[in-house]
Structure 1
Amino acid sequence: MAPVCAVVVAGGSGQRFGNPGGKQLVNVAGRPLMSWSIRAFDRSDKVGHIVVVCPAERRAEMRRLAIDPFDYDTPISFADAGDTRQDSTRAGVHAVPAGFEYVAIHDGARPLITTEAIDHAIDVLMGDRSLDGVVCGQPAIDTLKIVDGDNIVETPPRELYWAAQTPQIFSVDAMKRAHAAAIAEGFIGTDDSSLIERMGGRVRCVQSPRDNLKVTVPEDLRPVTAILLGRMAEGEDLPHVQ
């Protein structure tokens, strides 16, 4: 059996995006935004199941628009989103079927992730048993400033910094323990890795494509759409709709 279950988090309200229905079902280059992420995981032979985390009241809509019309081979199930992203992630992790050793947590609003990047990150994690997880991302290329209000306090060496993305891939057991500890101690992390890190877990950064952009506001759709259309023009196959 493939060792990894993907958890695609699609529980956001779309407040910053400005769409009451959220952004996950917005049409991007011919298919709903979140379905691009599902497609990338579906194409990995290392992923044996996909859990989509979304609001309970939107489950039928998401299945009808983002799952049923497309020819996915990987089994897909749902988990109910919580009040926060951390709550949603926890629900997704606990919905991972028995038998999977690893969970790959991914933002449904990052449609540009590639199967190659997913497989590479999984290989890095599985190749080093001392690791509790890996985080896809990119080393910082901009000069960074620490500021107090508008005043620059310090210019730290940028080689120490990475921009964290998703997927973030962990041992299922470690992620469950990390969530339990966070609940017990009232900790809210800025990403999934921070829950593992605070427990002393060893997490490694793995470079993913720099264009693994997250759609947060409407203007993010323009570059994302352009990149997807460019990939198709360069020979990637078009989405297959049943």
Structure 2
Amino acid sequence: MTRNIVAIIPASGVGSRMQSQLPKQYLKIQAKTILEHTLSLFIDDARISKIIIAISENDRYYSILPLSKHPKIKTVFGGETRAHSVLNSLTHLTEQDWALVHDAARPCLKRSDLDKLLQITDPNGAILATPAVDTIKRTADGCHIVHTEDRATLWHALTPQFFPAIPLKNAIQQGLAQGLAITDEASAMEFAGFHPKLVPGRSDNIKVTRPEDLALAEFYLTQGTQND
């Protein structure tokens, strides 16, 4: 099957939970921004023809990064939510394209996980995920337990998430029009009747969300290369 793979990086968020004046994707680990760490694997991968980064219209940091001039990278403006940012990026893709959507603040992705995901050709698409290992509680009011979930059937969704571009675009458009809560690309595809495949991924593929995650990401990045 002939297909063209385009990486999409939604990077227009402010990361309020990081308690930082900088958007979290521009915080530094080992003298490089999180965004630079995240992008390096995709820039070096010949299977990925292009990278589309969705940034805020008010972004003052991206243009000063050396990689902002990289010929493989195109920028678009992000939207109100992650889903809008991804949708804005998908408008530049065609029927032959598959979209590989990855969080800007998830810098520890290993090539071995990327390799597994890019083998998927199922039109339902696929996501990296890890089985739930903690006990999961459900609450109705935010502070009292209603019951304990059966973790045997639960997975933590990671990124990248990998889908044929046009079905993904249509699914996000339909979901937004219906006012559905689209928290990731897989949820949009699920609403549209698709059943994405779960591809087991590494647990060190963390998303930097809170201040303590920065030190953990630095630890993982110093323990080995992304090519592992």
Task: Note whether the superposition's TM-score is higher than 0.5.
Answer: yes
Asked if the contact 1:34/1:108 (under 8 Å) is kept, the reply is yes
Give me the whole-angstrom Cα distance separating, in 1, the residues matched to 2:147 and 2:210. 30
Give me the whole-angstrom Cα distance separating, in 1, the residues matched to 2:111 and 2:79. 28
- 1:62-118 Cα offsets, whole Å, 9 max, x none, are 13225158xx6x61100101111111111122233x464200111100000122211
Give me the whole-angstrom Cα distance separating, in 2, the residues matched to 1:156 and 1:105. 28
Aligned residues: 226
- Equivalent position of 1:199 in the other structure: 192
Give me the whole-angstrom Cα distance separating, in 1, the residues matched to 2:90 and 2:6. 9
- Equivalent position of 2:145 in the other structure: 152
- 1:193-226 Cα offsets, whole Å, 9 max, x none, are 1111011112011111110111112221011011
Which amino acid counterpart does residue 198 of structure 2 have in structure 1?
C
Which secondary structure does the structure 2 equivalent of 1:110 belong to?
Answer: coil
For structure 2, the 5+ residue unaligned runs are: none
Which amino acid counterpart does residue 222 of structure 1 have in structure 2?
A
Match of 1:182 among 165, 175, 178: 175
Q: Do the aligned partners of residues 158 and 183 (structure 1) sit closer, same or farther apart at CA in structure 2, a change above 3 Å counting? A: closer
1:62 matches 2:59:
no
Match of 2:103 among 107, 116, 128: 107
Q: What is the Cα deviation at residue 184 of structure 1?
A: 2.5
1:166 matches 2:128:
no
TM-score w.r.t. length of structure 1: 0.85
TM-score w.r.t. length of structure 2: 0.90
- Equivalent position of 2:74 in the other structure: 77
Give me the whole-angstrom Cα distance separating, in 1, the residues matched to 2:180 and 2:73. 30
- 1:156-203 Cα offsets, whole Å, 9 max, x none, are 221100000111111101111112212322223121111110111120
Q: Do the aligned partners of residues 236 and 113 (structure 1) sit closer, same or farther apart at CA in structure 2, a change above 3 Å counting? A: closer
Which amino acid counterpart does residue 146 of structure 1 have in structure 2?
R
1:38 matches 2:39:
yes
Asked if the contact 1:44/1:115 (under 8 Å) is kept, the reply is no
1:92 matches 2:89:
yes
Match of 1:116 among 89, 93, 112: 112
- 1:11-60 Cα offsets, whole Å, 9 max, x none, are 1112221223311111112311011111111222321100011112327x
Q: Do the aligned partners of residues 8 and 95 (structure 1) sit closer, same or farther apart at CA in structure 2, a change above 3 Å counting? A: same
Q: What is the Cα deviation at residue 236 of structure 1?
A: 6.8
Over aligned residue pairs, what C-alpha RMSD do you find? 2.3
